[in-house]
Structures are given as C-alpha cells and as structure tokens.
Amino acid sequence: MRNDSGKTISIWMTTAEVPDQLVLTENTHADVCVVGAGIAGMSTAYMLTCQGKSVVVLDDGPIGGGQTARTTAHLSNVLSYPYHELEQMHGKEGVKLVAQSHTTAINTIEAIATQENINCDFERLDGYLFPPDLKSIDEIQQELEAVHQAGLTDVEMVKKAPLTDFDTGACLRFPQQGQFDPLKYLSGLAEAIQRRGGRIYTGTHVEKIKGGLPARVETSSGKVVTADAVVVATNSPISNLATMHFKQAPYMTFVIGAKVPRDSVFKALYWDTLDPYHYVRTQSIDEQYDVLIVGGEDHKTGQADNASSRYAKLETWTRERFPMAQEVLFRWSGQVMNSDDGIAYIGKNPFDEENVYIVTGDTGIGMTHGTIAGILLTDLILGRKNTWAELYDPSRARISGVGDFISENINVATQYLEWVTPGDVDSVEKVTPGTGAVVRRGLTKVAAYRDENGTLHEHSAICTHLNCIVAWNSSEKTWDCPCHGSRFNTQGQVINGPAINGLTPMENK
C-alpha cells in the first residue's frame, strides 16, 4: 500500500490490503467531521456512527498511512512511564483511571473485532516487564506495589519471563494484554463505518479548521465540510498553533523485524525498563516462521540522523537475547508524541471553539490511546459524562510534570540557533543523488534534495509551523522539524503535522 510518512516499510504494510477511498470533490455536511484516518480518527468515527451520527473522515494520505502503520501494535495497560511515576503525576485516583481506561481499550478492540468480524490477528497474551539487569529487584518490587494500587491486582512477580535463551531475572507478568494487525483492523473499521453511512475521503488535504456553528473544515481543493463538531486526530494537532506543542515532544522510534522459527519465541509482549525502553513481540508470517519485532533506540525528531547505527544497536541487543533470530526482514521508524505527564491529551482543543476536539500525545501507546479517544470523544460530543474526561483534558496542568515541560521547551528553544549556524554542506554541488542537506544561502537556509536522476529540488528550510530549521532524515528521506515534529517529503509536501502547509519552493521566493 502507498504510505505517506516515510520510505521504510513496516510489516503491516505487507500484510494488509487497505481499501482505496475517493477524494472529496464537493462541499458536504455531517454531524461530525474527523480529520485523520489513523487509529484515533477511525475509532472515533466508528463509535459515532454506531450512535447514529453522520460522519465524514478526511485524510491527505490513505487510511492508516501515517503513524498507525508504523506502530508495533502492542495493546497494553503498561504505559511508557512506570505506574509509580504516573501516580506521582496523576494521583492515586487518576492512576486508577489510567489503568482502567487502557484495559477498557483492549477489551473494546477485541469486542469490535468480534462484533464486526474483523480478521485482524487479535490475540490475548501476557506481557512481561523486566529490568535491564538481574540486580534491579527493588525497582520491580516498587512497580508491583504501584500497579496493585492502580487496580491491576492480577499482576504478579515471576522469577523470569518465559524465554529459553534469555534470563530476564525477576519480572512482572501482566495478564490479558493483546496484539493485532493495525491496518487489518482499520480496514475492518472502514467497512463498518461506511456500512453505517459514514463517508471516508482520502487524498484530501485539510488547510483550515474553524470552530463555531457550523464548524468549517476547508481543503486545499477549495471544497468545504461543515459540521456540528470537528475531531482533529492527526497525531499532532494541525488546529493548534502552539499551546499543545509546548506540552509534548516528538520522538523518532526504531523497529526491526527478524525472522525466527515458528514458536521459537514464547508468544507474549515484552518490555524492559531502560530509557528509552525496548519493546518486543512476535507476528506469525507462515507455517514455518514468525517475525520477532523489536523496537527502541528513540531520539528527538530532527535531532539525529544516524538511523543505521540505531538499527544496528537494536539488532545487537536482539541477537544477544534471542539467538534464534535469523535475517532482518524489516527496518522501519515512526514518530511518537510524548506528553509531559505520560498520557494522551484527549478532549476540547484549548482556546478554541467548544466544538473542536483533539487527540494527541500518544506517548508511544497509540493503539490504546487512540481507542480511548474514540470512547471519550464520542461521549463528549454526545454530551454524556465520562469519568476519564478530566484525566485526559488537553487543558490540564500537572505541577509534577513541570521539570519535563521546562527541559523539553529549553531543548526546543536551542533549535532556533540553527538560524545562525552554517549549513550541512557549503554548496548544493555537494548534495549527491538520493540525498538531502541544508545549505546556507545568504540570510536564510535551503533544504536541498537531489533525486536519483540528479535533479535538484530546493525548498526553504524554514518549517511552516513556527519557523524552525528542518533537518534531513536520510533513512526516511524526509525533512524533519526538530522543534515540534512537523515532517515533509522530498518535494516539500507536509506529511506530518503540526504544519499544515508544505515547505516553500525556492523558485517561488
């Protein structure tokens, strides 16, 4: 399938046939317009149509063509932050809601897959959380107490994870976790949405969102969708210029998929407690082999261009612990938006009209956060009370999250120093075919890409969101903004928000 968020290929892009959709060619109206056809947008659209609402979904790429296609698809109530830290940030009652909401999300995905007869390889399985070394028993004990206080009382400490060649030491077993194929699931959701009268338009770029009655969603073709409510589910919200982008930070995460003999790795989810942590699962590909999927080695978006070494580190880590691993079949990366307090932002868009809603800040747990968004936003739009609303409110402020908030925003501020530094190379002649580089030209900087035929493509290197200088990502062949995570393809077209407009061609400047 065609994918809009990078050049690497995830395993899901080879296993699922996602149906093509029409482009929006006329003005239309719906009860709700959902912008973004990933897990959050499609879950929200599905749940709204189940409640009898008319829904229009818009996406400038294919269904699932953004970061949903780049997940490792863990369905888990184990988050990126440990529960003892989540309790410090959200309190004893808040952390119970965190655990409850992610558990509900797994149950919801299972129920939808069953009800709609979606063949998405959904499975229930255990998850194992282990420390980086055999001596960290205190860390695991502390986390066990925290998860029990959060209501996950069926979690237990075991002597080791059920792996034959890797002794994890004492670890926590989380029962009733899940995994699935995310693109097969979205394909099923698309069919169910359309069967209930929902309309999905891809290849349709949204340029402006304006709340009010009615709300207006304007596209680059000039066509307009009016609606009683708008949900912006674009990974990073394109309807919010700055507020949310100071409360979260974009990170690139890396994944390898190695061939292993069928059932040679006990089927479960595995995570360690390093920072950044590793995450592991398997996916069956035929009667003889599974793919061992291992992720980690994160870095801030646009602030490193060393994917090959990160893939190599992942492979080394994997082979040391899983000696049955054979050739690496897949290498891919994706972008996650890390919130400043460990959970997503879901609800009304701050400082906007009352009928504009957002979901962002997945913090590496996008599949369950996206499903939580479907449940919560449906309730908010229908005017129903939901006990999760305050917890996930995008306007929330956590005193305990101030340290991360400050450090991340200092990091962003330093990126603007790129305005006064030299370019990556001193002339475009040094940009070889198939590569890109930022070149200084007078008082500005140019994002120069030379295609495989030797043709040079020059765009302003100034991100159209908040004027940061973009950086070349040689692995995905994208221009990535190191400030707030906007990403652009080699032709300057925006492929990931918060930017709405593409990089400006130099010939038009």
CATH of the domain at 464: 2.102.10.10
- What mean pLDDT do residues 102-117 have? 98
Number of C-beta neighbours around residue 337 at 10 A: 30
Average pLDDT of every residue of the chain: 93
Residues 172 and 265 in one domain: yes
What are residue 291's DSSP bridge partners? 259, 283
Looking at residue 497, what is its pLDDT? 87
Residues 303 and 154 in one domain: yes
- pLDDT band with cut points at 50, 70 and 90 for residue 290: very high
Whether residue 389 is contained in a domain is answered as: no
Of 289, 321, 338, which residue constitutes the final position of a domain? 338
- pLDDT band with cut points at 50, 70 and 90 for residue 133: confident
Whether residue 169 is contained in a domain is answered as: yes
Looking at residue 443, what is its pLDDT? 85
pLDDT over 80 at 392, yes or no: yes
Question: Whole-angstrom distance between the N-terminal and C-terminal Cα of the chain?
Answer: 35
Whether residue 309 is contained in a domain is answered as: yes
Residues 163 and 253 in one domain: yes
pLDDT over 60 at 134, yes or no: yes
- pLDDT band with cut points at 50, 70 and 90 for residue 361: very high
Where are the alpha helices (H) located in 64-181, listed in sequence order? Answer: 83-115, 137-149
Task: Identify the residue with better confidence: 351 or 190.
Answer: 190
Residues 273 and 128 in one domain: yes
- What mean pLDDT do residues 330-339 have? 96
- What mean pLDDT do residues 291-304 have? 95
Number of domains in the chain: 2
Looking at residue 423, what is its pLDDT? 76
- What mean pLDDT do residues 351-366 have? 95
Cβ contacts of residue 472 below 8 Å, gap of 6+? 305, 424, 435, 436, 437, 438, 447, 449, 479, 480
Looking at residue 136, what is its pLDDT? 75
Whether residue 23 is contained in a domain is answered as: no
Whether residue 290 is contained in a domain is answered as: yes
pLDDT over 80 at 401, yes or no: no
Residues 167 and 316 in one domain: yes
- What mean pLDDT do residues 14-30 have? 95
- What mean pLDDT do residues 51-71 have? 96
Q: Could you give the CA distance from residue 294 to residue 255 in angstroms, rounded to a whole number? A: 6
Q: Could you give the CA distance from residue 250 to residue 23 in angstroms, rounded to a whole number? A: 29
Residues 460 and 321 in one domain: no
- pLDDT band with cut points at 50, 70 and 90 for residue 264: very high
What are residue 462's DSSP bridge partners? 469
Residues 164 and 259 in one domain: yes
Whether residue 301 is contained in a domain is answered as: yes
CA distances from 122 to 260, 263, 405, 494 (A): 20, 17, 36, 33
Of 338, 372, 398, which residue constitutes the final position of a domain? 338
Task: Identify the residue with better confidence: 353 or 401.
Answer: 353
Residues 166 and 304 in one domain: yes
At 110 the three-state DSSP class reads helix
The CATH number for 289's domain is 3.30.9.10
309: left (phi over 0), alpha (psi -120 to 50) or beta: alpha
Whether residue 466 is contained in a domain is answered as: yes
Q: Do residues 258 and 292 touch, judged by C-beta distance below 8 A?
A: yes
Of 318, 338, 358, which residue constitutes the final position of a domain? 338
Whether residue 5 is contained in a domain is answered as: no
- What mean pLDDT do residues 82-108 have? 97
Q: Where in the sequence is the domain holding 455, given as residue range(s)? A: 419-496
Q: Could you give the CA distance from residue 467 to residue 495 in angstroms, rounded to a whole number? A: 17
Q: Could you give the CA distance from residue 313 to residue 137 in angstroms, rounded to a whole number? A: 26
- What mean pLDDT do residues 269-286 have? 93
- pLDDT band with cut points at 50, 70 and 90 for residue 505: very high
Residues 293 and 160 in one domain: yes
- pLDDT band with cut points at 50, 70 and 90 for residue 508: very low
- Which amino acid, 328? V
- What mean pLDDT do residues 323-344 have? 96
Residues 164 and 266 in one domain: yes
Residues 310 and 430 in one domain: no
Q: Is the dihedral of CA 325, 328, 330, 336 positive or negative?
A: positive
Residues 157 and 290 in one domain: yes
- pLDDT band with cut points at 50, 70 and 90 for residue 346: very high
